[in-house]
Structure 1
């Protein structure tokens, strides 16, 4: 099946038309695959290794390859991939510009009232504790009590995780520092320099690559703190597409292609971990 990877600056005429109106307007029945319906989907434009523009100026990453595999597996739809920032992706799926979006998204009750999600998750967000490599005193959340944890964003996922821990352990509280966390390189540099004792964050956002590039004395603890499934998120009117995605995602899981994709982009099979929520 012919693939169309488009950036904001090089939208095709079909894409411009797809951007207007509701979910019905978004579909282009005259695709290059005959009877296939062409829809526009979005991934984030600077979220390595999920989705990003590589050194050759091409859209690349885990979710980009995933969507291409789904495109090959589904005969009745053809996907145009557009790269945008997270806010534009959210607005686009709300307005019907995009049939679905990526971004390593969690499923929750609020989102399920507004959007459709495939039955099967297509990724895993593995939350780990990072410490200095020569410090083996921290292995679990329990060990963060009395330690300096790198600041977290108020009401973010890590904040909620640490808050839940404190609610469950009233006599042994983690000191949750609130504020701007900084980019990943800044966080790991602060840990390396002793500004903080630990960072709690997802491991599948290029952490190992940053640590290696900066030659930092930082490493993740062996066991993850939490393992969350992540999903593609569909517009509410995409029931037929959801049915096709369910079939295709299950096929990719069963034939090992999701695991192989995970090995390629994350250096490990994320699907080996037991979901903790």
Structure 2
């Protein structure tokens, strides 16, 4: 019988990805106990409601639940989650410290050149602008030109702004965060250290409810992205992709993804 997925919640430090290494002994124990092949799935622990640590320091959220549903349907595999900082995520994948990423990763041409994405997307996310409440001079991406905007290196929202700068006469001034957490960037917006932030409205509203920040979403969504599970572009990644794609399709068709989306976000944000 298929065993339930296990949770690992080590904080992967920047020094040598020590948290991942600490999970290796747990992986061996899982293999011996279940006979399953263990697949380590990297995700953040501070990106609510998609992937975050709860009051018991266990990973939870929409992306976590989606992978758990996939795990239930794949005999011979056990999926374990590893809390990984955003700036270490793809390095961990490339070095095989993790074998998959489920962390609201948008499909972009550059990423699809380097990594394997599931053909089936499991979430459709919008991109919006956040400013300090009451500010009226920013409504669009063009209005960000010449302004200081919070950024996380390598995420799809930052890539969008970097691409805009390539054709803009007046650059958006990107302020790359050292903390790597959206909540701290939103606090910088509130406190006036930066002018705006660009990210997903569902995550933003979840953070606002938790911290009661004096910021607001303005204008119309800039773009909509489809999110996929990511694998290393190699034989094992191809095998996992071939197994996972049909399961995501099934979870769409039977309404599971819609129910999970409503549970965590309050709406159905499932791509066709």
TM-score of the aligned structures, taking structure 2 as reference length:
0.75
Partner of 1:187: 185
Alignment equivalent of 1:230, drawn from 205, 211, 227 = 227
> Which runs of structure 2 are paired with 1:199-210 in the superposition (5 Å)?
199-204=197-202, 206-210=203-207
Name the CA shift for 1:45/1:216 in 2 (closer, same or farther; >3 Å).
closer
Partner of 1:5: 6
Name the CA shift for 1:31/1:156 in 2 (closer, same or farther; >3 Å).
closer
- How far did residue 161 of structure 1 move? 2.2
CA distance in 1 between partners of 2:25 and 2:152 (Å) = 40
CA distance in 2 between partners of 1:229 and 1:222 (Å) = 21
Unaligned runs of 5+ in 2: 11-18
Partner of 1:256: 255
- How far did residue 194 of structure 1 move? 4.0
Name the CA shift for 1:17/1:150 in 2 (closer, same or farther; >3 Å).
same
TM-score of the aligned structures, taking structure 1 as reference length:
0.73
User: Which structure carries more strand by proportion?
Assistant: 2
Name the CA shift for 1:67/1:156 in 2 (closer, same or farther; >3 Å).
closer
> Which runs of structure 2 are paired with 1:136-151 in the superposition (5 Å)?
136-145=136-145, 148-151=147-150
CA distance in 1 between partners of 2:253 and 2:126 (Å) = 21
Partner of 2:15: none
Name the CA shift for 1:38/1:154 in 2 (closer, same or farther; >3 Å).
closer
Partner of 1:81: 80
Name the CA shift for 1:269/1:84 in 2 (closer, same or farther; >3 Å).
same
- How far did residue 230 of structure 1 move? 2.1
CA distance in 2 between partners of 1:88 and 1:153 (Å) = 12
Name the CA shift for 1:247/1:52 in 2 (closer, same or farther; >3 Å).
same
- How far did residue 258 of structure 1 move? 1.7
Output the aligned Cα RMSD: 3.5
| Contact 1:71-1:77 at 8 Å conserved across structures | no
Say which one has the larger Rg.
1
Partner of 2:218: 221
Unaligned runs of 5+ in 1: 19-27
CA distance in 1 between partners of 2:76 and 2:83 (Å) = 21
Name the CA shift for 1:152/1:51 in 2 (closer, same or farther; >3 Å).
closer
Partner of 1:268: 267
Q: After the TM superposition, which of the residue ranges 255-264 and 177-186 deviates more from structure 2?
A: 177-186
Runs of 4+ in 1 over 6 A off after TM superposition: none
Partner of 1:24: none
Q: After the TM superposition, which of the residue ranges 153-162 and 46-55 deviates more from structure 2?
A: 153-162
- How far did residue 245 of structure 1 move? 1.0
CA distance in 2 between partners of 1:128 and 1:138 (Å) = 12
Q: After the TM superposition, which of the residue ranges 250-259 and 175-184 deviates more from structure 2?
A: 175-184
